[in-house]
């Protein structure tokens, strides 16, 4: 299934359009940093610490995705 997202830029100057794109990229980059930091921090824990938290090594990426991007 294909999805199309349309952004209405009518009436905006080129500079304003660039600002919108830059802001969107900044938001995506910030979410990616949250994902990477969460993965790195959880991978540093040993198996016992992860078990105490109720997390398996296989679930680290899923937890990081939820932390960064929501459900």
Cα–Cα distance measured from residue 33 to residue 39, given in angstroms and rounded to the nearest whole number: 10
- Residue 1 is predicted with a pLDDT of 59
Question: Pick the residue with more confidence: 70 or 1?
Answer: 70
Task: List the one residue out of 27, 31, 30, 25 whose CA is nearest residue 69.
Answer: 31
Whole-structure pTM value: 0.75
pLDDT digits (tens, 9 = 90+) for 4-57: 666 666 788 999 999 999 999 999 999 999 999 999 999 999 999 999 999 999
């Amino acid at each position: 299934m294909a999805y199309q997202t349309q952004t209405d830029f009518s009436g905006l100057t080129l500079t304003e359009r660039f600002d919108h794109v830059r802001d969107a990229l900044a938001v995506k980059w910030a979410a990616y940093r949250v994902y990477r930091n969460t993965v790195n921090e959880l991978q540093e824990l040993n198996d016992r610490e992860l078990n105490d938290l109720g997390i398996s090594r296989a679930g680290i990426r899923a937890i990081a995705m939820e932390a960064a991007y929501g459900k």
